[in-house]
Chain A
Amino acid sequence: MTEPGAPIVEIRNVSKSYRRENLVVPVLHAISFDIAAGEFLALMGPSGSGKTTLLNLLAGIDKADSGVIRVGGVDITTLTETELARWRANHVGFIFQFYNLIPVLRAVENVELPLHLTSLSRRQRREHAETALGMVGLGHRLDHYPREMSGGEQQRVAIARAIVTDPTILVADEPTGDLDRVSAEEILGLMEQLNSAMGKTVVMVTHDPRAAQRAKVIRHLDKGYMGDAATQDPV
């Protein structure tokens, strides 16, 4: 168990480039920084600055060209695809801009989905999923399909899915990017609550300054280079 304040994520000299046909496009240049346990970090930067790539790297859904990424003491750059999949299932909760729910599954089934990789019984899975949906205020919409819910509700289902496995970190990629202002405020409030009340470490990519203001720490990326951290006073 990582002590609050101690780094839960350590990123050292991480570089990443993409190959576009015959062209190598560098995206991240020797990035190094830490994320403390229980931190709510906002990664900001203009489009193409590499923030989503960085988020993907520390969440284990993409591989760095070089450098070390240690999450909860595990160097995830050395894991195989299968090990990485297992590690993601146990340690990372994902929240995406477009919610990324499975359209053919009901809300409760979407939340249950990651629990199918655990040893929980069917009843336990259902109980966990219902609890998670209750936490995000959707206890009454268990059997609704994503198409039957608003964007804000879908994002809350996605948050419930992200927290249902009790992950080490929550990563959110533009979680309010597709929402109206009211829904966006609700989602940000929920994430704040997960961070403050439940002690979840949250890493959020956003280009929206209003969203970033809800984070405790803001880091800026520009053209693949990381700027200094700006710690915000709690409001």
Chain B
Amino acid sequence: MLLLKILFRNAFRNRLRSALTILGVAVAILAFGLLRTVIDAWYSGVEAASASRLVTRNAISIIFPLPLAYSEKIRQIDGVKRVSHGNWFGGIYIDEKHFFANFCVEAKGYLEIYPEFVLAPAEKKAFLADRKGFIAGRKLAARYGWRIGDTVTLRGTIFPGNWDFVLRGTYRGRDETIDETQFLFHWAYLNETLKRTAPRRADQVGFYMIAVTRPEVAAEVALAVDKTFKNSLAETLTETEKAFNQGFIAMSGAIVTAIQMVSFVVIFIIMAVLANTMAMTTRERIGDYAIMKTLGFGSGGIATVIFGESLVISLTGCLAGMAATFPAAKGFSQGLATYFPIFLVSAETLWLDLLASLVIAVVAALIPTRQAIRIGIADGLRRIG
């Protein structure tokens, strides 16, 4: 108990130095937490992926289409519960800076496969009934102030022209990990237009979404789908939704790796700063430790006091940094909603913050503790006075 008092009071003996070190740890933990949240945001699509969903695309590349006729063949494969299809539309709203994901989908099946997109029954009915209708995530609708019945025009890039849509509903995510910034409209609207304007591009889909009866049969179904279209003009590659999403992230793997490295560099830097603080405080208190040794305290007692002081500083900074992460993440989320629709501080990030602060504290105290333990009592006492 008295050792606890010593280490707590020691931690704030030099208030300015301790406050600056705590501030440093807090900023480092804040930076670490935000960088980890950026990585989480990158992987949010992977995390939200269902084990019961498969994505089928052209085996050569996702940019090549598949025939619409595959739909019925896929539906007949054992283990397939539902099939829907869609295309990445790639439309631009106002200009390129106002980016959001926009897909055309076979709406009825798609909404069944994605129950996590929660839509009011009346809005769902209105959307399904209107070929030119679209639904938007509530965050996207809120960002642009769209109201039900508003007409929104997207400029097509893959499919040229100006495309008018009428907002028929806003969906919300079943939980906070669901992207609420998507723009979904009817694949049929695109297809009918293409039949008139570019018939060669009609009846082609970008991907099939498949819901399987049970997650355990997903691999089997994926193999069966690809086998069905083997040696056809458009061979398929079927993978779980998770693997499909991971494939996208892999394209930006270097950026994710760089962010991860920076997050660890931040921790390493603050570790060095705290180690420096602990080295200074231990040097100043070497007399105190010599007194404790004189009175009969062993290495364990000395180590407790030094490691404890390091822990108090590091954990105080960590808690301050963790507390600051939430408002900072909220600010980031608002500022970067275009790129990171899901920007949530996860429990895992908070645990990592804690773990990082523990590692910082322990590593920073190692060498000072060793020095304090090794110094002879007589040498330590000579430094007093």
Contacts and interface: CB of A to CB of B under 8 A. Distances in A.
Contacts of B9: 104-105
B377 A61 contact: yes
A71 to B, nearest CB: 15
B2 A100 contact: no
Interface stretch (A89-97, A201-209, A213-221): A89-97
> Most chain-B Cβ atoms within 10 A of its Cβ — which of A104, A109, A116?
A104
A94 B384 CA distance: 15
Nearest to B298: A85
Contact of A116 (B3, B287, B288, B385): B3
- Say which size band chain B's interface belongs to: 20 to 34
Main secondary structure of the interface of B (DSSP, over half): helix
Given A85-B296, A85-B297, A113-B295, A102 B288 contact: yes
B323 to A, nearest CB: 27
B317 to A, nearest CB: 21
A144 interface: no
B378 A96 contact: no
Interface in A72-127: 81-82, 85-86, 88-90, 94, 96-98, 100-105, 109, 112-114, 116-117, 122
Contacts of A10: none
Contact of B287 (A86, A100, A161): A100
B281 to A, nearest CB: 12
Contacts of A90: 296
A90 B13 CA distance: 31
A53 B1 CA distance: 34
Given A85-B297, A116-B2, A100 B377 contact: no
Interface in B1-53: 1-3, 5-6, 9-10, 13
Contacts of A98: 384-385
A222 interface: no
Nearest to A52: B378
Nearest to A18: B378
A114 B2 CA distance: 10
A62 B378 contact: yes
A30 B385 CA distance: 30
B296 A104 contact: no
A145 to B, nearest CB: 10
Given A61-B377, A98-B385, A122-B1, A105 B6 contact: yes
A56 interface: yes
B121 to A, nearest CB: 67
Contacts of B5: 104-105, 109
A51 B224 CA distance: 93
Given A98-B385, A109-B2, A62 B377 contact: yes
Nearest to B13: A104
Contacts of A53: 378
B328 interface: no
- Say which size band chain A's interface belongs to: 20 to 34
B13 to A, nearest CB: 6
Given A105-B2, A105-B5, A94 B294 contact: yes
B134 to A, nearest CB: 67
A97 B298 contact: no
B2 A113 contact: yes
B377 A97 contact: no
B293 interface: yes
Contact of B6 (A61, A97, A104, A117): A104
A112 B3 CA distance: 11
Interface in B281-337: 287-288, 291-298
A114 B378 contact: no
A82 B297 CA distance: 9
A62 B376 contact: yes
B381 interface: yes
Contact of B385 (A85, A97, A114): A97
Contacts of B6: 102, 104-105
A127 to B, nearest CB: 15
Contacts of A56: 377-378
A101 B291 CA distance: 8
Given A100-B291, A104-B9, A117-B297, A112 B2 contact: yes
B3 to A, nearest CB: 7
B377 A117 contact: no
Given A56-B378, A62-B376, A88-B296, A102 B291 contact: yes
Given A109-B5, A113-B2, A116-B3, A100 B297 contact: no
A102 B289 CA distance: 9
Contacts of B376: 62
B320 to A, nearest CB: 23
Contact of A96 (B2, B288, B381): B381
Given A112-B2, A122-B1, 7 more contacts: A56-B377, A61-B293, A61-B381, A98-B384, A100-B381, A114-B295, A117-B297
Interface of A: 53, 56, 61-62, 81-82, 85-86, 88-90, 94, 96-98, 100-105, 109, 112-114, 116-117, 122, 161, 178
The 7 closest A-B CB pairs, nearest first, are A89-B296, A104-B9, A98-B385, A61-B377, A114-B295, A62-B378, A100-B291
10 contacts: A61-B293, A61-B378, A61-B381, A85-B296, A85-B298, A88-B295, A88-B296, A89-B295, A114-B295, A117-B295
